[in-house]
Amino acid sequence: MEAQGLESKRKILLVILGFTVALIYVLSFLVYRQFIKGPEYQEKAIQQQTYENNISSNRGIIYDRNGKILAQNSSVVTVTANPSRVVKLGKVSEYAEKLSGILGTDRETLEKKLNQNIGHVDIEKKIDPEIANKVRELGLDGIYLTDDSKRFYPYGSLAAHVIGFTGTDNQGLSGVEMVYENYLKGLPGRVVSNRIEAGTDMQYEDYIASQTGYNVVLTLDEVIQHFVESELEQACKDYKVENGAACIIMNAKTGEILAMATYPTFDLNSPFTVTDEALKKELDALSGDERSAKRSEELNKLWRNKAVVDSYEPGSTFKSLVAAMALEEGVVSLSEVFNCNGGMKVADTHINCWKAGGHGSITFVQGVEGSCNPLFMTLGARVGAKNFYKYYKAFGFTEQTGFDLPGEASGSFHDLSRFNEVELATSSFGQTFTITPLQLITAYSALTNDGKMVRPHVVKEIVANDGTYVEKFETEVIRQVISEETSQTVRNILEGVVSQGAGKNAYIKGFRVAGKTGTSEKIPRGNGKYVASFAGFAPCNDPEIIGLVMLDEPMGESHMGGATAAPTFKNIFDNVLRYMNIEPQYTEEELATLDNTVPNVEGMAKADAIARFSGSGLKYTVIGSGTHVTSQIPKGGSSLPDGSTVVLYTEQEKAQQVEIPNLIGMTASEANVTLNNMGLNIKEANTNSGSTGTARVNKQTPAAGTMVDRGTVVEVQFSYSDDVH
Amino acid sequence: MAERTRRRSSRRRERQKKEINYTFCILTLALLGFGLVMVFSASSGIAQSKNESVYIYFIKQLIFAVAGLVVMRGLSRIDYKFWYQKWVVLLGIGVTVVLLILVLFVGKEGGGATRWIGFGPITIQPSEIAKFTTVVVMAKWLSDYKGDIKKYGVMIKMLLPAMFFAVLVLLGDHLSGAVIIALVGIILVFAAGCKFSHLFFTGVAFVPLLVIAIALEPYRVKRITSFLDPFADAQGTGWQVIQSLYSIGSGSMFGVGLGQSRQKHGFLPEPHTDFIFSVICEELGFFGAILVILLFVFLVVTGFKIALSAPDRFSSLLVCGMVSLIALQVILNIAVVTSAMPCTGITLPFFSYGGSALMVNLVEIGVVLSVSRQTGKKL
């Protein structure tokens, strides 16, 4: 064995040097990777190591103007699974069997879903919590239940076209749900979790809570909407309306839409379901693409918000505005006399009045009340094509109203270069151009609102969950179209239309309804299809609400607006005005017709006595359990207003006595309610009609504190004060 | 005869007086302990995903570490001249060759090559044994040869044993093992005194051979291209390297904390073996990585000091070879995980999980320690 020499020591040092060089090379890479490229690698590493799971946010609630819930969320459950865990446990087929039993899903589909090497799969979305509980009771390892939410509409089909509906991911698809999506949807939260491949347990790292969406308060009133919908449905049945109907009720001063309905309607909770039996049969006869095309066409038709989307020829309802133009331009006076002989020659065309034989010699006011076509053609000609179009534009018919629901149409008008005498004449009585119901009602707001047209809107405010306002939609005046004076004049004329003209079917005692009927023939002319409508407002002296009823193709006995739309309008307004507690202002003639003569039923058998009250406008209360009426209060022959109660006693017992309350200072309805609650009747004495302001009781007989029998009539006298609340 | 007896007894006395190099021993123990902790941490992800106890890899490695320490201590007490004996060397060659050939037929699959032989519950990696054998054979071969190694022909002849083992290992498709064996042979020939220029030009001449070796197996080509631009094929061949770089980049200065590696959960391939250094970088940051490297630097430098003061040419070359084996593997392993060279399967001594490699590492240390008892002795 040899000892090592200096030579080999030098060599070993060289080997160390070699290793040092290699180490420096490697170290430089380590520094480069860890520090220079480090942040980049780190970011990419985090990207692959984590995944984000969105937590759906709760959608905001939609309320009506009084806080009634129109759209809310109901709790549902989504079932998910960790398939690789299930595979590892060897329970794929067992789970598939059990779950298919509860969920009703195909077993093979479930098996396919469970039999894969991934960490997450949706088994069934949005199931009923009760069904979910059955799954929970099984306690299957690797199957998870997540709370989820689903949109629920408590009133079903109510205001369906306004509220709109949502899709499977709770995204708004139509109506307010769609337009206010960004407010309603909220901010989804996130769970950022470790992605550990091969499906081992996850450790949550980061949780960002979801934010509930904002609540939307509509201007709609559920009660009014309900009145409107049931009347519209009744009208469509009574008048055999073929192509649907629409109605809008708007606050005359603010432009708030109180009700907006389209018939037929659909259930918001199942918007994709066809319920019409005839249509169902028609669809069943088809198949494949043809069927689905037809189905989606029909559904789209059903979802159309007719009041906003459909345009039609307004007919005579437009004449109110032509009258306003003429008055504003000063081309006519109220007492000017016109002569209608049943038609008029314009250029070379003879255009008929709707009334064969004509109206004869009439004043301007009478002509409007009678809806005389030649009168309006004359007015149109006097205003002139240029000015006519100026007002047409000012009333907003050339543009959308700026309403908040989607799909708004703006109608169509003549090409201005061809807007000549004949076109001007026909336009003057509301034919040969189209507008939407919403545009017309908006234009009418200029009449009701002293010339200032207001923008219609259906959302009142947007409120956060903690009650703070996010946005408030105030009244927005679009523009002053006519003067205050003109608007007042037109309103008074229109009241005459209802009280003694073509619109008398819309007359309601005490509420000073004003309005105009409309009947327009659909194109092609002569096919017997019409649009019947009525546009009006009340009370005439200080309008609170405007309404428009449009019946598309009434095919019953009459197609005239006055015979179909006007009564429907009347029924709706009667309900709405009373619901809104608008004070009746009876004229003397009205008061005279209000009273009913009380029948004398003393000594009659109970059943016979009751029969006397049917159809009398009076109510009755029977006290005691005898078979015959022994006495009655008030006595037979006295007169009482509609809705008063006659008390019938059937036994020889002492009449029940009550103490008369103090009514002084009460309004008519307050006094009425107070007395009715005590079993007393009210009678208004010599009310000074035509006065304005609020009527308050200033005199009563008998005086307060007197003991009287139930049923006694208390006479009250009102005085008017101008203290507007 | 009497004189021989006296010399033997006095040598025994001297040996008994002499202590092992404690610095070297303590550095080894530090690395081993550190390695065990990292195996525990790095294997937890793998264990979880296989639904095994998180302790399973740690316990297995601990058993091998304890067994290895017993063997190491035993070997450190045996005179290094044991390895100089002809029968030992011949037996070593025989066993190694048999194992290397056997692995070609009964080897277990792993990482695209067959490298393990199973003996009941124990699997051994013949290429690890071949590394050790190569060093022993070369040390004897070089120290026995009387010719002038500065002659080119002599140098080539001296290289033959290492090349023989390298080729045998290469047959088992274990390129990295073959490279390490060849490199350690070259280092020993150089340490024994050959001319650098001779080695250099021989190396240049072998470049075409290397190219052929790569061309024969397409996966090697892919590994080389993925080293040049690992992101070119992020989902395929570059995947392993990219995952390693993500780990290193995530670690920054002080790391994400011991046991907190996210990359070891299904992203990093072989987090507990070939890529354990990436886990160190991620969990303990640059700080931890430098600590590991410094421990190895001190170990290697101490090792070469022992070689320099070794009593004779054989022991000096023996130690030099053993230390070089460790140094080469450390540098190549870190080069792979930092993508400083093409990706190939090289383990990190004392850290990577694997019984036979750990045993062989500790055997190597044992031999060095045995030489260290007799350093500084003038003959």
- φ, ψ at A417 (rounded to 5°): -70, -20
Region B274-301: mean pLDDT is: 95
Tell me the CA distances in angstroms from A102 to A91, A97, A137, one per residue in order: 17, 9, 11
| Interface contact A203, partner B, CB < 8 A | no
Q: How many residues does chain A have?
A: 725
Tell me the CA distances in angstroms from A301 to A171, A272, A298, B319, one per residue in order: 21, 12, 5, 93
Of B190, B249, B335, the CB nearest to A11: B190
Which B-chain residues 127-146 have CB contacts (< 8 A) with chain A? Answer: 143
Tell me the CA distances in angstroms from A360 to A355, A357, A372, B163, B283, one per residue in order: 10, 8, 10, 130, 104
pLDDT (0 to 100) of residue A202: 43
Angle between the N-to-C axes of helices A385-394 and A319-329, in degrees from 0 to 180, rounded to the nearest 10? 120
d(CA B36, CA B55): 11
Distance of CA A626 to the CA centre of its chain: 51
Strands of A153-273 (E only): list them: 189-194, 204-208, 215-218, 245-251, 257-263
Q: Name the least confident of A127-131, A237-241, A290-294, A635-639.
A: A635-639
CB half-sphere exposure, A668, CA atoms < 13 A = 21
Q: What residues of chain B lie within 8 A of the CB of A45, using their CB?
A: 246-247, 249-250, 262-263, 267
CB contact under 8 A, A3 and B263: no
Nearest to A236 by CA among A561, A551, A567: A551
Contact between B111 and B162 under an 8 Å Cβ cutoff? The reply is: no
pLDDT (0 to 100) of residue A379: 93
d(CA A70, CA A216): 10
Number of A:B CB contacts under 8 A? 139
**Residue type, position A342, single letter:** G
Q: Between A141 and B164, whose confidence is greater? A: B164
**Residue type, position A152, single letter:** F
Region A608-630: mean pLDDT is: 76
d(CA A432, CA A423): 7
For residue A201, is pLDDT > 70?
A: no
Q: What residues of chain B lie within 8 A of the CB of A202, using their CB?
A: none
Bridge-based pairing of strands A245-251 and A530-538 is unpaired
Contact between B285 and B251 under an 8 Å Cβ cutoff? The reply is: yes
pLDDT (0 to 100) of residue A439: 95
| Interface contact B245, partner A, CB < 8 A | yes
- φ, ψ at A110 (rounded to 5°): -65, -40
CB contact under 8 A, B307 and A3: no
Q: Name the least confident of A89-93, A676-680, B32-36, B144-148.
A: A676-680
| Interface contact B325, partner A, CB < 8 A | no
What is the full DSSP assignment across A211-244?
Answer: BPPPEEEES--HHHHHHHHHHHHHHHHHTTBSS-
Coil, strand or helix at A160: helix
**Residue type, position A300, single letter:** N
For residue A67, is pLDDT > 50?
A: yes
Region A22-49: mean pLDDT is: 89
pLDDT category of residue B378 using cuts at 50, 70 and 90:
very low
d(CA A315, CA A73): 44
pLDDT (0 to 100) of residue A477: 93
Average pLDDT, chain A: 85
ipTM value: 0.90
Tell me the CA distances in angstroms from A335 to A174, A493, A619, B281, one per residue in order: 51, 12, 46, 101
Region A334-345: mean pLDDT is: 88
CB contact under 8 A, A49 and B334: no
Q: What residues of chain A lie within 8 A of the CB of B281, using their CB?
A: 30, 34
d(CA A710, CA A275): 52
For residue A615, is pLDDT > 70?
A: no
Distance of CA A118 to the CA centre of its chain: 48
Reading the block at residue B254, the tokens are 């002080």
pLDDT (0 to 100) of residue B322: 95
pLDDT (0 to 100) of residue A690: 44
d(CA A537, CA A544): 7
**Residue type, position A344, single letter:** M
CB half-sphere exposure, B323, CA atoms < 13 A = 31
d(CA A475, CA A255): 7
Distance of CA A243 to the CA centre of its chain: 20
Region A57-70: mean pLDDT is: 90
For residue B12, is pLDDT > 60?
A: no
Q: Between A130 and A673, whose confidence is greater? A: A130
What is the dihedral angle through the alpha carbons of B67, B68, B73, B75, rounded to the nearest 10 degrees? Answer: 120
d(CA A22, nearest CA chain B) in Å: 7
pLDDT (0 to 100) of residue A691: 45
For residue A112, is pLDDT > 80?
A: yes
d(CA A393, CA B279): 76
Give the DSSP H/E element, type plus range, for residue A161.
helix A160-163
Q: Which residues is A645 bridged to in the sheet? A: A619
Contact between A87 and A96 under an 8 Å Cβ cutoff? The reply is: no
Residue with tokens 């189209």: A434
pLDDT category of residue A160 using cuts at 50, 70 and 90:
very high
Which residues, including other chains, have CB under 8 Å from residue A654's CB and lie 6 or more apart?
A: none
pLDDT tens profile A457-477? 999 999 998 888 999 999 999
Q: What residues of chain A lie within 8 A of the CB of B335, using their CB?
A: 25-26, 29
For residue A614, is pLDDT > 80?
A: no
Nearest residue of A to residue B192, measured between CA atoms: A8
- φ, ψ at A130 (rounded to 5°): -65, -40
For residue A704, is pLDDT > 80?
A: yes
Angle between the N-to-C axes of helices B313-337 and B355-372, in degrees from 0 to 180, rounded to the nearest 10? 140
Task: Give whichever of A36-45, A573-582, B89-98, B170-179 has the largest mean pLDDT.
Answer: B89-98
| Interface contact B199, partner A, CB < 8 A | no
d(CA A510, CA A594): 10
pLDDT category of residue A383 using cuts at 50, 70 and 90:
very high
Nearest residue of A to residue B193, measured between CA atoms: A8
pLDDT (0 to 100) of residue A653: 59
Q: Which residues is A346 bridged to in the sheet? A: A349
Region B282-303: mean pLDDT is: 95
Q: Name the least confident of A177-186, A603-612, B138-147.
A: A603-612
pLDDT (0 to 100) of residue A274: 82
Reading the block at residue B208, the tokens are 């075409």
Helices and strands, counts by H and E, chain B? 13, 3
CB contact under 8 A, A200 and B379: no
d(CA A46, CA B249): 11
Of B312, B313, B327, the CB nearest to A19: B327
Region B264-270: mean pLDDT is: 82
Nearest residue of B to residue A42, measured between CA atoms: B250
| Interface contact B301, partner A, CB < 8 A | yes
Nearest residue of B to residue A9, measured between CA atoms: B308
Q: Name the least confident of A180-184, A227-231, A657-661, B157-161.
A: A657-661
Reading the block at residue B239, the tokens are 């995947």
Contact between A358 and A342 under an 8 Å Cβ cutoff? The reply is: yes
Q: What residues of chain A lie within 8 A of the CB of B320, using their CB?
A: 12, 15
d(CA B334, CA A25): 10
For residue B83, is pLDDT > 80?
A: yes
CB contact under 8 A, B265 and A1: no
For residue B170, is pLDDT > 60?
A: yes
pLDDT (0 to 100) of residue A562: 86
Q: What percent of chain A has pLDDT over 90?
A: 36
For residue B16, is pLDDT > 70?
A: no
CB contact under 8 A, A23 and B252: no
For residue A384, count other CB atoms closer than 10 A to its CB.
Answer: 14
Distance of CA B103 to the CA centre of its chain: 19
d(CA A262, CA A160): 8
Region A692-712: mean pLDDT is: 76
pLDDT category of residue A306 using cuts at 50, 70 and 90:
very high
Q: Between B214 and A264, whose confidence is greater? A: A264
Q: What residues of chain A lie within 8 A of the CB of B311, using their CB?
A: 3
Q: What percent of chain B has pLDDT over 70?
A: 87
Coil, strand or helix at A605: strand
pLDDT (0 to 100) of residue A689: 44
> For B267-296, b where at least 16 C-beta lie within 10 A, e where not — what string?
bbbbbbbbbbbbbbbbbbbbebbeebbebb
Region A236-255: mean pLDDT is: 93
| Interface contact A45, partner B, CB < 8 A | yes
Nearest to A196 by CA among A50, A89, A82, A80: A50
Tell me the CA distances in angstroms from B273 to A19, A437, A479, B46, B61, one per residue in order: 23, 79, 81, 11, 11
For residue A593, count other CB atoms closer than 10 A to its CB.
Answer: 12
For residue B320, is pLDDT > 60?
A: yes
pLDDT (0 to 100) of residue B32: 96
Reading the block at residue A280, the tokens are 């169902």
pLDDT category of residue B300 using cuts at 50, 70 and 90:
very high
pLDDT category of residue A254 using cuts at 50, 70 and 90:
very high
Contact between B42 and B271 under an 8 Å Cβ cutoff? The reply is: yes
Nearest residue of A to residue B255, measured between CA atoms: A34
pLDDT (0 to 100) of residue A593: 67
pLDDT category of residue A592 using cuts at 50, 70 and 90:
low
| Interface contact B252, partner A, CB < 8 A | yes
CB contact under 8 A, B193 and A35: no
d(CA A479, CA B362): 97
d(CA B26, CA B372): 13
Tell me the CA distances in angstroms from B207 to A25, B210, B211, B346, one per residue in order: 21, 5, 6, 21
Bridge-based pairing of strands A645-649 and A619-623 is parallel
CB contact under 8 A, B338 and A49: no
pLDDT category of residue A640 using cuts at 50, 70 and 90:
confident
| Interface contact B358, partner A, CB < 8 A | no
- φ, ψ at A623 (rounded to 5°): -115, 135
Reading the block at residue A226, the tokens are 């309900």
For residue A33, is pLDDT > 50?
A: yes
pLDDT (0 to 100) of residue A20: 95
> For B173-183, b where at least 16 C-beta lie within 10 A, e where not — what string?
bbbbbbbbbbb
Nearest residue of A to residue B150, measured between CA atoms: A7
Q: What percent of chain B has pLDDT over 90?
A: 48
Of B193, B297, B310, the CB nearest to A7: B193
Q: Name the least confident of A5-14, A207-216, A280-289, A432-441.
A: A5-14
For residue B130, is pLDDT > 60?
A: yes
Nearest residue of B to residue A44, measured between CA atoms: B246
Mutate to test the interface with B, among A7, A10, A16 (most CBs of B within 10 A): A16
d(CA B241, CA A409): 62
Tell me which DSSP letter residue A214 carries.
P
pLDDT (0 to 100) of residue A198: 45
Q: What residues of chain B lie within 8 A of the CB of A36, using their CB?
A: none
pLDDT category of residue A259 using cuts at 50, 70 and 90:
very high
pLDDT (0 to 100) of residue B17: 53
| Interface contact B306, partner A, CB < 8 A | no
Residue with tokens 């009947």: A519
For residue A565, is pLDDT > 50?
A: yes
For residue A638, is pLDDT > 90?
A: no
d(CA A688, CA A681): 21
| Interface contact B249, partner A, CB < 8 A | yes
pLDDT (0 to 100) of residue A688: 47
Average pLDDT, chain B: 85
Q: What residues of chain A lie within 8 A of the CB of B316, using their CB?
A: 4, 8, 12
Q: What residues of chain A lie within 8 A of the CB of B340, using their CB?
A: 25-26, 29
Region A530-534: mean pLDDT is: 93
Reading the block at residue A261, the tokens are 């309905």
**pTM score of the predicted model:** 0.60
